[in-house]
Amino acid sequence: MASTATILAGNLALVRRRIDTACLRSGREGDAIRLVAVTKYARLDWVRELIGLGVADLGESRPQQLIERAEALGEPVRWHLVGHLQRNKVRKVLPLAACIHSVDSWKLLERIDLLSAELGLRPDVLLEVNVSAEAAKDGFAVDALADGWPQAARCRHVRVAGLMTMAPLQDDPEHARPVFRRLRELRDELSARPPALALPELSMGMSHDFDVAIEEGATMIRVGSDLFAGLAEAGAHGAAR
């Protein structure tokens, strides 16, 4: 039976090949793309193996799990929070997260800025945009982001580094393309306005659609299920936990 390490290495190689292929197709450099491994469904021993394979950027969607895993792993991991952040969790998450992808209101941004000042931190944050305007989804409406834009510049301690979105779940990843393209155009529009914020980062693309996201300009892709595929089925056990 294949070991956890063998399966993970194979999955990672496949993901990296897809990244390279998408970069080649769109004339981009492979090292312009940061792979964030989303570990929300992965066992801790799988995550350890993945770190051993050289993946340094890990993402969690629940603040509590990010906090627990950051403590358990204690390794030089760059943590990304990719899911909703409640304002009462900001103080605990801030010292642990290198990047918060999911800032979905001006109030939350203000809170993060305030506590960053207090804690002497300078985190990167991304503003999450509900490009497809789905009712059940978090994130700024496109108009609300544009209208409230001056508030992004009021931050003194946080670096607003870019935008994040999730495409609706669909069978054909091509259907995600207009959503990703719109996020890039929105970034271009916003960064051209005063106050000039560069907004270099676009966090978009998951297992199912990251190839298309890279073609549309993603700088960070958030990949979970394709990295950990086959592990539960194989009953794969790692070395000691």
Ligand X SMILES: *Cc1c(COP(=O)(O)O)cnc(C)c1O
| Sites of contact with ligand X (CB under 6 A) | 38, 40, 61, 82-83, 166, 206-208, 222-226
Task: Name the residue nearer to ligand X (CB basis): 114 or 229.
Answer: 229
Find the shortest distance in angstroms from Cβ 208 to ligand X.
Answer: 6
Calpha distance 191→159 (Å, rounded): 14
Find the shortest distance in angstroms from Cβ 117 to ligand X.
Answer: 27
DSSP letter, residue 159: E
Calpha distance 118→112 (Å, rounded): 10
The CB-nearest residue to ligand X is: 224
Find the shortest distance in angstroms from Cβ 9 to ligand X.
Answer: 18
Find the shortest distance in angstroms from Cβ 229 to ligand X.
Answer: 9
Task: Name the residue nearer to ligand X (CB basis): 89 or 157.
Answer: 89
Task: Name the residue nearer to ligand X (CB basis): 158 or 220.
Answer: 220
Task: Name the residue nearer to ligand X (CB basis): 10 or 150.
Answer: 10
Do 31 and 16 meet the contact criterion of CB atoms below 8 Å apart?
Answer: no
Find the shortest distance in angstroms from Cβ 148 to ligand X.
Answer: 22
Helix runs in the chain, H state only: 4-26, 44-52, 63-73, 90-93, 106-119, 142-147, 150-153, 177-191, 210-215
- In 10 A of CB 197, how many CB atoms? 18
DSSP letter, residue 204: -
Task: Name the residue nearer to ligand X (CB basis): 192 or 233.
Answer: 233
